[in-house]
Amino acid sequence: MHTADIEEIRRFYEAHQRALYAYALTLTGCGSAAEDVLHTVFYRLLRLPALPRDLKPYVYSAVRNGAVDGMRRAARSAPEESIVAHLNGSTPPDRIALQDEVAHLLRAVNEDERECIVLKIYAGLTFDEIARTRAVSPNTAASWYRRGMEKMRLAAKENAS
């Protein structure tokens, strides 16, 4: 792989590292497993003979495949770590409340819906790209997203009342 391609992958990683980690964490439910998946994905990506054409969907697909393979090998029950950061005490209370609420809302949806919401909102993928990542039709991806958001909206309403 050319130096320019390697540099492009590095830039991509630096721009997406939080979203990639969040996605891997959504799939594995375990921080250390998510880190291993990311490392393996980029280790393999950097050793490809050429840069994949659509890097973003390619990398997210690779993260998904790596996470699924890892979980199959380990056959473990995921401890379900949250993708939302635990902020320290110096953070304003309303900010901490927002973090807690989002973590709570993400637990209100099923795996497909959560994965789709993370890819759409945090990774910035389009429904077409999500569909390619998940090997489903764009309509299915959009449907997962809408259903998940509706569940979240109801959960937020319940929380508020």
Partner 1 sequence: MKELEDKLSHAVLAEATPAHQARMRALFDEVQTPPRLVNRPVALWKCAAACAVCVGLGFVLSGLRAPESAVRTPPSPVLTAHPAVPSAEQHGPGEAEEHLSTKPWPRRIVVGEIINRSDGWIEATLEEAP
Cβ atoms within 10 A of the Cβ of 4, count?
Answer: 9
Q: Which one, 47 or 135, has the nearer CB to partner 1? A: 47
For residue 71, give Cα distances in angstroms to 25, 41, 68, 130, 156.
12, 15, 5, 21, 31
Report CA Rg, the chain: 17
Residue 99 binds partner 1, judged by CB under 8 A: yes
Question: Are 58 and 48 in contact, with CB atoms under 8 Å apart?
Answer: no
Choices 27-35, 65-73, 108-116, 135-143 (CB under 8 A): range interacting with partner 1: 27-35
Angle between helices 3-28 and 31-45 (to 10 degrees): 150
Member of 69, 79, 86, 139 binding partner 1 (CB under 8 A): 86
Q: Which one, 88 or 135, has the nearer CB to partner 1? A: 88
State the residues that interact with partner 1 by CB under 8 A. Answer: 1, 3, 6-7, 9-10, 13, 17-19, 21-22, 25, 31, 34-35, 38-39, 42-43, 46-47, 81-87, 98-99, 101-103, 105, 117, 121-122, 149, 152-153, 156
